[in-house]
Amino acid sequence: MKVLKSLNLKIFVVWIIFPIMLYVSSMVIPKGLNSNVRQGVADLVVFLAAYLLNKYWLHQQINWISSSQPMQQIMTALPTIIFVGYSSIAMFYVGDMSFKVEIVLMTILVGLAEEFCFRGLMIPLFLRRFHGNAYKAVIGSSILFGLMHLINLKSISFGYVSIQVIFAIAFGLLLGAIYIKTNNLALVVVLHMLKDVFPLLSPSTLREASKMQFSTASLIACLFLLGITIIIARYQVKGLTIEQSVMKHD
């Protein structure tokens, strides 16, 4: 059927599969499980659903790992490494931070599911949609990555979720540029996991985060961060056009 070959439909399905599968998972995963285990299992379900969707319909090439030009990969990832390090360093001075295997595994699964969908699948789809334009592909996948966080409206105020959306778009720009330059999905999964894991290892930090409310200062800071990441992503993929011959088709 011609409609099933529509790039717009494929992009929409990849985007919508995340909230749908998370909802289904919340219905079937036993309520008695640890919340971190439930979250990890839910993201594993999302990943498996997206993997099967790609195997039997989307047929996008996933660049899982690359050992080519490791120093260039590090330099490409350096702004994100600095960002993750800067945002996490304070956690090492929190008194109640402790290593928990289930949290580490959960953040790995979250990173795997989100990066597989929004970088691994969406970027090649957007590359085809925008005729190989790398910057537009990164922008498109990042915007949808940010909008995916609107699912948090069920438990968090619109003002605070709007900040999450902007932050996610900014972080997505950095990860998208890395993936498209390095062809290394494992690298962006690790960076995503490291960004998430440290705050979750501290109960006191989690309690404080749950009390956070919308503020104009936070919004301005996120918009400033977004501006910086737009510049970085633009610089990293400037003039980069992916040849049609290397993009996977049905």
Q: What is the CA radius of gyration of the chain?
A: 18
Sequence-separated (6 or more) residues with CB below 8 Å from residue 214: 157, 159, 160, 162, 163
Note the pTM of the prediction, 2 decimals.
0.93
Determine the average pLDDT of the residues in 139-162. Answer: 90
> How does the average pLDDT of the chain come out, rounded?
91
Q: State yes or no: pLDDT of 49 exceeds 70.
A: yes
pLDDT (0 to 100) of residue 210? 66
Q: State yes or no: pLDDT of 28 exceeds 70.
A: yes
pLDDT (0 to 100) of residue 167? 95
Q: Rounded to whole angstroms, how far apart are CA atoms 4 and 96?
A: 51
Lowest mean pLDDT among 4-18, 129-143, 154-168, 214-228: 154-168
Q: Percentage of the chain surpassing pLDDT 70?
A: 96
For the chain, the domain total comes to 1
Cα angle 57, 6, 239; round to 5:
100
Higher pLDDT, 248 or 94: 94
- Tell me which residue range forms the domain holding 208: 2-246
Are 185 and 116 contacting, i.e. CB atoms less than 8 angstroms apart? yes
pLDDT (0 to 100) of residue 245? 42
